[in-house]
Structure 1
Amino acid sequence: MEKLQSKTVAEMVTENIKTAHIFKKYGIDFCCGGGITLDKACKKYNADYDLLVNDLINVDNTSSRATNYNSWDLDFLADHIVNVHHSYVEENIPLLLQYSARVAQVHGHHYTELLEIEELVKEVAGELSAHCKKEELILFPFVKKMVKAKKEGTELPEAHFGTVDNPIKMMETEHEDAGELLRRIAKLSNNYTPPQGACNTYRAFYAKLDEFEQDLHHHIHLENNILFPKSLMLEKELRNNQ
């Protein structure tokens, strides 16, 4: 119990990704807002502390190799994020845009929140598409160069952006922005709950939005809580060795 109290939400998810499902169950943000203790998280999100701790204690603590992201090399983790999460964003954004336009057109006159949701979907689609490209073209290649430099015992590579902290801060700000857009969508959609008697397209749209948000939370967690802090540590280590 004392061990749990001293850990932040982000640390717990980093150590065991399975706890993410528990925090999701209690409506606790474990990616952008994960840097707080369990007690503070419960107060912030109006969650029952005792019930949460009980669920965390009873979670299966045996992390398989496939989900022990904290042990992966940074270049491998960066490739995983691109291949799994960036690919997911790229593949699903067109579908979300089609769904949102169709549902707003057919049902927006009665359920006016759909009109606002459509605009928010367009906004998050544009922001995440640009965000992923910046990571793939600027940040991740530099992280890979640092990993290579450490393995080969060479000097820290030069970067036009100065320190890696600069693009990381930008990416974290964009994570916050995308997360806020999805929080607004979740609120407008009553946590992706379609109205009674909703058509299949309406239901599919909300189910896809829910899935999209969950993937984004996992995506942001891997970057904010593992890749980014370890990249900063690696840069510092390489700089000290020069």
Structure 2
Amino acid sequence: MNTVKERTIGQVVTDDYRAAQVFRNYGLDFCCGGNLTIEEACEKKNVDPTKVHTALQGLTDKNGKEDNYDQWSLDFLVDYIVNNHHQFSRKKLPEIGAYAKKVAKVHGERHPELTEIYYEFTKLHSEMINHLDKEEELLFPYIKEMVEAEKNNETPEQPDYISAANPVSMMEDEHDDAGAAIAKIRELSNDFTPPEDACTTYRILFENLEGFEKDLHKHVHLENNILFPKALELEKRLN
């Protein structure tokens, strides 16, 4: 069994999602960058790994461990992702976009970074909707078909894209793009910190952006670190 130091941060979060907040506190990417060990991720961000390990150790002394997503069936996990994270994105993307447009128009002259934030978020909005559609129309139905085939001891019908590895690779690349976009927005917004002269709408925008980032990180983690690897393993077993 791998020790905590040998496991990737994606595996640590998979075992206990409360660890996500620890990594978030230290600016460590546990979703798109979840394939790094704690030491590797800390070195990349110039963070003391001892502090991270101490914070993680503190979790073991507390109750309230979150749902163990790693133990869920893949079809249930797919439905959870669609009903929670996909629906959240479809609802919040246009809402946040409207806030970003209004704030950039009113305050953009004094705070030009708002125009950049609006541009980055508009691009992210478009790309994410396209991404969600592809998952829901192509990859997710095939994963659920494979789950059903295994239950019935059958071989699933081969999809047009031949192997799940093809769309999975594409989805992971698009996750990287979304992660980079929200990271840039975080940088432009000074870690979602509104200036002293910010109006209520300005502050609501930054609060929503931070909430969207948090949801996106969990969304990508569930897919990159749990759903996709298990789907590829399942496909291999069936074939």
Same fold (TM over 0.5): yes
Residue 170 in structure 1 maps to residue 170 in structure 2: yes
Q: Summarize deviations over 1:83-127 as a string: whole Å, max 9, x none.
A: 000000011011111100100000000000111111001000001
Provide the residue aligned with 2:152 in structure 1: 152
**Which range moved further: 83-92 or 43-52?**
43-52
Alignment of 1:55-94 (within 5 A): 55-60=55-60, 64=65, 67-94=67-94
For 2:234 and 2:77, how far apart are their aligned partners in 1? 14
1:19–1:59 CA contact under 8 A, matched in 2: yes
CA positional deviation for 1:229: 0.1
Equivalent residue letter for 2:116: E
Provide the residue aligned with 2:114 in structure 1: 114
1:5–1:38 CA contact under 8 A, matched in 2: yes
Q: SS state of the match for residue 3, structure 1?
A: coil
Of all paired residues, the percent bearing the same amino acid is 43
TM-score, normalising length: structure 1: 0.95
Aligned-residue CA RMSD in angstroms?
1.2
For 1:236 and 1:63, how far apart are their aligned partners in 2? 35
Q: SS state of the match for residue 154, structure 2?
A: coil
1:149–1:157 CA contact under 8 A, matched in 2: no
Provide the residue aligned with 1:161 in structure 2: 161
For 1:23 and 1:157, how far apart are their aligned partners in 2? 40
For 1:173 and 1:220, how far apart are their aligned partners in 2? 11
Q: SS state of the match for residue 4, structure 2?
A: helix
CA positional deviation for 1:17: 0.5
TM-score, normalising length: structure 2: 0.97
Residue 127 in structure 1 maps to residue 130 in structure 2: no
Equivalent residue letter for 1:92: K
1:16–1:63 CA contact under 8 A, matched in 2: no
CA positional deviation for 1:197: 2.8
Equivalent residue letter for 1:73: S
Q: Summarize deviations over 1:152-181 as a string: whole Å, max 9, x none.
A: 001132110010000000100100011111
Provide the residue aligned with 1:15 in structure 2: 15
Q: SS state of the match for residue 5, structure 1?
A: coil
Structure 1 residues 136 and 78, CA gap change in structure 2 (3 angstroms): same
Question: What are structure 2's unaligned runs of at least 5 residues?
Answer: none
Q: SS state of the match for residue 47, structure 1?
A: coil
For 2:138 and 2:167, how far apart are their aligned partners in 1? 8
For 1:238 and 1:45, how far apart are their aligned partners in 2? 41
CA positional deviation for 1:62: 5.3
Deviating 4+ runs (over 4 angstroms)? 60-64
Q: SS state of the match for residue 43, structure 1?
A: helix
For 1:98 and 1:45, how far apart are their aligned partners in 2? 33
Aligned residues: 237
